[in-house]
Chains A and B, each alone.
Chain A
Amino acid sequence: MSQIHTHQHDAIIVGAGGAGLMAALYASKKSNVAVVSKLYPTRSHTGAAQGGISAALGNVEEDNWEWHAFDTVKGSDYLADQDAVDVLCKEAIDAVIELEHMGLPFDRFPNGKISQRRFGGHTNNETKKPVQRACHAADRTGHMILQTLYQQCIKNKVNFFDEYHVVDLIRVGNAVAGVIAVDVATGDFHIFHGKAVMFATGGWGRCWEVTSNAHSLTGDGAAICFRRGVPMEDMEFFQFHPTGIFKLGILITEGVRGEGGILLNGKGERFMEKYAPTIKDLASRDVVSRAIFLELRDGNGINGQNYVHLDVTPKTVNKYFELAGESRRITREDIEQKLPDIADFTRTYLGIDPVEEPMPIQPTAHYAMGGIPTDVDARVLADAQGNIITGLYAAGEVACVSVHGANRLGTNSLVDLVVFGRRAGMHIAENVPHMELLPLPKDAAASVITEFERLRTSKGKHKPYQLRQRMQKTMTDNVGVFRTEESMNAALAELKQLREEYMGNITIDDKGRIFNTDLLEAWELGCLLELAEVTAYAARNRQESRGGHAREDYPNRDDENWLKHSFCQKDDDQFRLDYKPVTILRYQPKERVY
């Protein structure tokens, strides 16, 4: 048996991406905080975000936060809670300015102000035309946010536990007392005993075969909470980003289309004109992903293959600018300067120079709109009635406030993590001094240690990667861009089978303690399986199409029956669903046309 070490802090923040670091900066001003992360902070996936972070700064043309809010609500297919969206879009302005003050090297307009570009679904509400709202640092905006926040944490001497993998939550009734982590380097278990716990662990795109997500995005935080009785909200809504590199899934930012890039099918048609006549290639992601999927199904892929082209060559882009009567033109230098990483990716992985040739793309599993339910202060909800779990917080992709509803707008993930990461940090700082440190339950770490020993000493037939590949295949085939009752029944049956094999017939090679990533990957697979099942279950239950959830057997949105959030919990191995009404303020649901 490994040694168990105990640490005591006021608050424990799990995950060191944008949301976790932002929260840490604020929470550590007034309390003793530990940031516990399975990766070095700068490895977090916030760093992979490319195109921009939206805020209605109006630096180059008229804009206001209410337009941003309307776009977000419309993008969400009216499932977002409008009070939370107001917070998001109003505070986005202040948050972006704060990032600039922290040193974030935004690109600049000639007048010295932060540069802004167009992005999918962000519009001038009067003209309905795309608006320049996305603040950016080339096509590495997320990288610069992550670096800047980490730098500020270094400056403010935030207390980090790097490469400590959190594997359980210590829940005591309707409150928390800390988390349990494995020190990756030694394999020892550590109890982090505290008054408040925040999860900022990101998404679970690794449930699918083709994904833009890092290998480490295995949904640990969501799965841990789910196992400890926390409901999962709106899990049926997972975003497929329209433009992933063919087969690899690496993200090609919407900023490419913001700069004028267009989508072309095998017949050379700009097919988005059919699906979104006004805004075309810059429609919401769910709309564009479905359009690509349908084009491919109709045999309109390039050379009959399973991809279409994203074309940002100046030749093509300028041709379409001219056709549209637009005065702007792009040059080779614009692409090199504004999209250097994209150019690097396609040159490295495809041998394709985007200045000369179009890029082969397909939809890629990208972002969880659903997750751990929270209020606007990032406090986790115990149920659909809105009761709070004392001391438990979540923000960023792992959380569901809900500001993204059924489909997230591009750039809004970065807005979400800085705005709600900050609100979590502030709330923790204000409240932790008055909160009670609950005593640790006896043998707090016992159940997770038992599970680790089971995996370590298992002698079954299947290696984790085999089960993982089967899960990814069934999720891709059956719970992808389009779903049906039948496909989801198939997924649920396969996932049940996989869970049985995971519990009873798995084996790993590494029986050691130090850097046992074999063991940790096996444990991560358990998290993915858990969340895949919740996703498929919630998706089968929702008998309508809305945003990222497209049912072929229920092709229309059904506001009468389904304008509500789903809350999924598991009791005694049985799923249970409950519903929470959507908060509607200024924007009444109407048909969604781009």
Chain B
Amino acid sequence: MQVQLRIRRYNPEQSNKPWWGDYTLQNVNRTDTVLDLLHRVKWEIDGTLALRRSCAHGVCGSDAMRINGANVLACKTLVSSFSREGSNQAKIQVEPILGLPVQKDLIVNMEPFFEHYRSVLPYMINNDPAPADGRERLQSPEDRARFDDTTKCILCAACTTSCPSFWANDKYVGPAAIVQAHRFIFDSRDQAPAERLQVVGDTFGVWRCRTAFNCTNACPREIEVTKAIAEVKIALATGEV
């Protein structure tokens, strides 16, 4: 089939104005991913196209992009999702994720995103001595299940950069950082939920969330992000984890 691919381009070495690159690709398979198409442009047509990618199957989190208006991973988005069964045409528009400074083409500066991530103390805090028998800390399957969903996060930023509250104010820690906080707050082995709740209970924490559900829709790992944020809000409101 044929795909009309439109890519938001920007190269500050050449011009401070972004532009649209239009590329017509033939012999595309319906099962090709958008990443496959971007590679074809980069390899066969214009090597200056800049993007991040690595694993190409949705686990490394490098290639979150705004494709036909929605945040997705390019490597997990098939051409078939933009073309009706039986049609041999598709139009696909690719832009960098919104709300982080664009550095070149589809590459944005991820530092502000990781700064928010680091702010929620995203690591296990347990100062008790390890079990005397030298073995693992025990955890019931039920306690383990409590935070299972939020352990899936790959830090791709698709959620945070789809959030209207983050667009409005980039000091908001954003859904991804809250997901990370949730992962530890609800882990029975962790001893610092109060410290994390203080961070995400701040002016730029969870109360900025207006439950738009964009984050949940955007998550390529199908984490129920809005639900996780709600659980953190409830923990803050009730003082109970």
User: Which residues of A come within 8 Å of B, CB atoms?
Assistant: 39-40, 42-45, 47-48, 57, 94, 97, 100-103, 105-114, 137-138, 140, 143-144, 147-148, 151-152, 154-155, 185, 214-216, 248, 250, 341, 344-345, 348-349, 463-465, 508-510, 512-518
Contacts and interface: CB of A to CB of B under 8 A. Distances in A.
A514 B103 contact: yes
Interface string B125-161: 0100010001111111100100110011111000000
Interface residues of B, number: 60
A508 B138 contact: no
B189 A103 contact: yes
Given A42-B154, A216-B54, 15 more contacts: A44-B60, A48-B60, A112-B139, A140-B59, A147-B153, A185-B103, A214-B60, A215-B55, A248-B57, A250-B57, A348-B78, A349-B78, A512-B13, A514-B12, A517-B51
B214 interface: no
Given A97-B134, A103-B187, A515-B50, A345 B140 contact: no
Contacts of A114: 136
**9 closest residue pairs by CB, A with B:** A103-B124, A509-B47, A112-B138, A518-B47, A465-B43, A151-B123, A155-B123, A510-B48, A100-B136
A155 B118 CA distance: 9
B107 interface: yes
Interface string B76-101: 10100000000000000000000000
Interface in B203-223: 222
B50 A108 contact: no
Given A510-B47, A515-B104, A47 B154 contact: yes
A212 to B, nearest CB: 9
Given A110-B141, A143-B154, A215 B56 contact: yes
Nearest to A148: B124
A155 to B, nearest CB: 4
B136 A97 contact: yes
Contacts of B51: 517
Contact of A42 (B53, B57, B61): B61
Contacts of A102: 124
A214 B54 contact: yes
A113 B138 contact: yes
B68 interface: no
Contacts of B190: 103
Interface in B1-60: 11-14, 31, 42-44, 46-48, 50-60
A105 B55 contact: no
A257 B222 CA distance: 25
A349 B55 contact: no
A140 B152 contact: yes
B151 A43 contact: no
A148 to B, nearest CB: 8
Contacts of A39: 54, 60, 62
B140 A154 contact: no
A43 B58 contact: no
A344 B154 CA distance: 15
B201 interface: no
Contacts of B118: 154
Contact of A345 (B47, B57, B123, B184): B57
Nearest to A112: B138
B134 A143 contact: no
The main secondary structure of chain B at its interface with chain A is loop
A464 B39 CA distance: 12
Contacts, number: 153
A101 B61 contact: no
Interface of B: 11-14, 31, 42-44, 46-48, 50-62, 76, 78, 103-105, 107, 110, 114, 118, 121-124, 126, 130, 134-141, 144, 147-148, 151-155, 184, 187, 189-190, 222
Nearest to A155: B123
Contact of A105 (B44, B78, B107, B148): B148
Contacts of A107: 141, 144
27 contacts: A40-B114, A43-B55, A43-B61, A47-B55, A47-B59, A47-B154, A48-B55, A97-B130, A97-B134, A97-B136, A103-B123, A103-B126, A103-B189, A108-B138, A110-B140, A111-B138, A113-B138, A143-B59, A152-B124, A185-B103, A214-B60, A341-B59, A463-B43, A463-B44, A514-B13, A515-B50, A518-B42
Contact of A348 (B58, B114, B147): B58
Nearest to B33: A349
A151 B152 contact: no
Contacts of A341: 59
A345 B221 CA distance: 11
Given A40-B110, A43-B61, A108-B141, A514 B104 contact: yes
Contacts of B137: 100-101
A215 B47 contact: no
Contacts of A112: 138-140
Given A102-B124, A143-B59, A113 B136 contact: yes
Nearest to B53: A215
Contacts of A155: 121, 123
Nearest to A153: B123
A463 B56 CA distance: 22
Contacts of B184: 103
A20 to B, nearest CB: 15
Nearest to A513: B13
Contacts of A143: 59, 152, 154
A107 B136 CA distance: 12
A108 B144 contact: yes
A151 B124 contact: yes
Contacts of B138: 108, 111-113
A113 B131 CA distance: 12
A207 to B, nearest CB: 16
B151 A105 contact: yes
